[in-house]
Amino acid sequence: MSSTERVLMGPGPSDVPPRVLEALSRPTIGHLDPVFLEVLDEAQAMLRQVFGTKNALTLPMSATGSAGMETCFVNLLESGERALICRNGVFGGRMAEVARRCGAEVTLVDAPWGKAIDPDDVAKAATEGSFKVLGIVHAETSTGVLQDLSPFRAIADSCGALLLVDAVTSLGGVAVDLDRMGIDAVYSGTQKCLSCPPGLSPVSFSERARQVLSTRKTPVQSWYFDLNLIGRYFGDERVYHHTAPVNMIFALHEALRLVLEEGLQARYARHREQAAALQRGLQALGLELPVEESVRLPPLTLVRIPDGIDDRAVRAKLLADHGLEIGGGLGDFKGKAWRIGLMGASATPQHVKLCLGALEEALR
């Protein structure tokens, strides 16, 4: 099959810069080669900078973002323990499902799709006894809602819980600040604001989370995602666990270099500025943005589909005429909204201009 070039403005993946693609195509070497291990160490150090943490256990899992979610839950939860999960979209719901499959008793705190979680609701639920984990999505990819995380460390402390955060669509596009926010465990993906191909899931565990991991009563239910084992490869021992995806690590290393060359604050500002320009343009076209401005996620904008407009026909036309991909709605917004991504290398004035022009033409 011949390669087809696309402009990626959906919910992920995002456009991948040439330097990252070049890194991906470098000659494959062994996963214990000293040159590769040096690249791996540098990638971990850069991940700590982007996550805003000094956590020693910060590494890219050899799997996609949902596997990062699984990694966090299977390592921290044992059967019969309690998890308090916040759900205002698909990925909060997926957190709950993964926790249940770990044998946990799950208590849900819900908010309507397109709204942020109310910390007061979570604080109230936290009074119902102790919990092992408090899970919340920072950037809900299904709705384009950005959650303020600042109240949740104190709420987790009130019920003895570890604070676990989904940062799949925020890492590299919105400040995550693990240490400042007191986050114990986090997972993300490479294909969103880091603009690296899909295939790795960066995770980070605080010392408090590592203590829980090392004092488990039962083995981690997943051998593949057991950080007690994987940590020995990423640490000084270099004990073999599985063959690391060498070329994907090369690509992530280069993607992180690009993030830090730009500078984190400049990168966050770029995402905010381009999102604001896109949203102004969408509203000028008469399109409604269901998410309140105060909680809109800069890397992903939710757009209500006007009455009488065929969702799939518009997206097919954008793809056929402009090679432009935007996303359809999920869950409560399926068939009712589009999701337009401005992530990493896809958050530029050129992307905004192309998208607005192509949408105007398609809607006409």
Q: Which CATH superfamily is domain 7-12+264-363 in?
A: Aspartate Aminotransferase, domain 1 (3.90.1150.10)
What is the spatial distance between Cα 224 and Cα 290, in angstroms, rounded to a whole number?
A: 40
User: What is the pLDDT, as a whole number, of residue 344?
Assistant: 98
What is the Cα–Cα distance from 23 to 304, expressed in whole angstroms? 38
In 10 A of CB 299, how many CB atoms? Answer: 30
Q: Which pTM was predicted? A: 0.97
Task: Give whole-number Cα distances, 133 to 34, 41, 141, 252, in Å.
Answer: 38, 29, 21, 29
pLDDT at 3: 61
Q: Count Cβ neighbours within 10 Å for each residue of 188-224 and write b for 16 or more, e otherwise.
A: bbbbbbbbbbbbbbbbbbbeebbebbeeeeeebbeeb
pLDDT in tens, 25-45: 999 999 999 999 999 999 999
DSSP 295: G
CA atoms within 13 A on the CB side of 308: 2
CA distance 327 to 292: 20
Question: Quick one: tokens of 41?
Answer: 């160490």
Interval 298-314: pLDDT, tens: 999 999 999 999 999 99
| Cβ-contact 184, 209 below 8 angstroms | yes
Q: Secondary structure of 46-82 in the HEC alphabet?
A: HHHHHHCCCCCEEEEECCCHHHHHHHHHHHHCCCCCE
User: Does the pLDDT of residue 1 top 50, yes or no?
Assistant: no
CA 301/CA 173 separation, integer angstroms: 13
Parallel, antiparallel or unpaired: strands 133-137 and 82-87 = parallel
pLDDT of residue 139: 98
Alpha-carbon distance of 172 to 36, in angstroms, equals 24
Judge whether residue 100 has pLDDT over 50: yes
2: pLDDT strictly greater than 60: no
Long-range contacts of residues 153-157, Cβ cutoff 8 Å, at least 24 apart: 153/181, 153/182, 153/183, 155/119, 155/122, 155/123, 155/126, 156/126, 156/182, 156/184
What are the pLDDT digits (tens) for 5-24?
A: 899 999 999 999 999 999 99
CATH architecture of the domain formed by 18-260? 3-Layer(aba) Sandwich (3.40)
* Residues contacting 22, CB < 8 A, separation 6+: 254
Tens of pLDDT, residues 142-188: 999 999 999 999 999 999 999 999 999 999 999 999 999 999 999 99
* For range 105-124, the mean pLDDT: 98
Q: Where are the domains of the chain?
A: 7-12+264-363, 18-260
Peptide bond into 13 cis (omega under 30): yes
pLDDT digits (tens, 9 = 90+) for 204-229: 999 999 999 999 999 999 999 999 99
